[in-house]
Every structure is written in structure tokens, then in C-alpha cells.
Amino acid sequence: MCGRYASSRRPEDLVEEFDIADVRIPAPLEADYNVAPTKEVYAVVERPPSKESEEPPERQLRVLTWGLVPSWAKDPSIGNRMINARMETVAEKPAYKKAFAVRRCLLPADGYFEWYPTEEKTKAGKPRKQPFFIRPKDGGVLAMAGLYEIWRDPTKAEDAEDRFRWTCTVITTEAEDSVGHIHDRMPLMVERDRWSEWLDPRSGGDTGLLVPAAPGMLEAFPVSTLVSNVRNNGPELLEPLPLEDS
């Protein structure tokens, strides 16, 4: 799964990186080195300029909440359990099928965290888990494949500005060999030459879009266990530990 990641790029950096045409964010998010479910995150989407417009979709930068709430959900707390969608079933499951067809997004990240169980035991007798940070070798942005939904809050008035809740999920796939020894799942990466095809809502739910990125693009290194507490947040969480200290 993908349950934590880092996202420190500024909106202006993302606008340039993803060729954004329209910035739809109420205010810039702070750099977040410990992004956890239910937090607000940046997302790149493509949407028509308006409902009535016949113009092609434009690329937008938006702020979404991590944890997808399907449009038909009665209780928005369901989003707490829907932070990941498996690539193998995303086109079929009722919670994701419609979003996969028309509401795909990219979730920009510096990299993501996974925990590897070591032979050392905790006081409770369980394996001590060592966090690793996994990022692109070239230091570039990690464009994670995602889905988003727009949930209408029935308790809000028709003219309430916050009556719609925009939420998202990260699509995961089987981990490639270079990082599979840490965890068997990883975010589905979308390579740059496939961004337009992935984002285009007119292409429908073609499973041919679900293509894992070429292997060998990532590097992993151990980091401080401070990242295990979501209250800790700073660039020091991404600092590599010497192997003998991990």
C-alpha cells in the first residue's frame, strides 16, 4: 500500500512541471514531508472549462483530500479506508469504476515511505519496522496515478461554498524488484510521456492505461523512525541513515 508520502514542491513549480493551465487552489499548501491520509494534497486533473463548454479539457492544479469518498456514499468517513485502489481491480470495483473512467489524476510527490520488518523485536515482541524513503533516482517528481471524486454533502445548503468535497485515492501496483523486498506494493507511477493520455477524461476506462513504469527508476534508503509519527514533519525525515544505524 501507499500510506505516507512527501510533497514539498511549490504550486509554481508544479505549474511549470505539469504544464498547468488553470490553478484552482484556495491557498498554497505548506511543504509536507509526512503526508498522511485525510490530509489535503495537490492533484493535477483535466476538466472542461465549464459544464456548458465544448472546449477541450484544461489541465488544472487542485487541492484534494486524501481518502476517496464515492459520489454515492452516505457517510464521508468511508474515505478514511479508501486511500489506495489496487491496479488489478480498479476498473471493476463499484467504488472506483466510474472515477477510473472519467476522473483520473496525478498526485505529485517527492517520494513515498514504506516500513520493512526487521529481525529486531519491540518490547511487545513484534518485529521492529524500519522506514524507508523511496524516490526517483533522478530527483524528479514522482507522478503517482490517482483517482478523484466529488461528493455532495446533503447537509449543506445549495449555495454553500463547501457543499462539494473533492477527494482522491492512490492507485497501487505490484512493487518492482528493486523495492519489492521492502514492501510488495507501490504507487503506480505515470511516466511523463503518458501524462496527457492518463489525465484525458474523454478516453474512458480503458485498462490499457494501467501500465507500470519502467523498472529501475527508483532508489530506496532507510530514514529516521520519526516519520512513523505523523506529528513529525520536516525535511530531516528524508535524510538517509547510515545502514549500520538503520
What are the catalytic residues?
2, 114
142 touches 136 (CB < 8 A) = yes
153 touches 165 (CB < 8 A) = yes
What's CA 62's distance to the chain center, in Å? 13
Sign of the C-alpha dihedral computed for residues 16, 18, 23 and 25 taken in this order = negative
91 touches 97 (CB < 8 A) = yes
Rounded to a whole number, what is the largest CA-CA distance in the chain? 62
Rounded Cα distance between 191 and 138, Å, is: 13
Quote the cell numbers at residue 146.
490517482
Residue type, 59: R
In 32-163, DSSP assigns E strands to: 32-35, 40-47, 58-66, 84-86, 104-109, 111-121, 127-136, 142-152
Helix ranges, 53-123 (H): 94-102
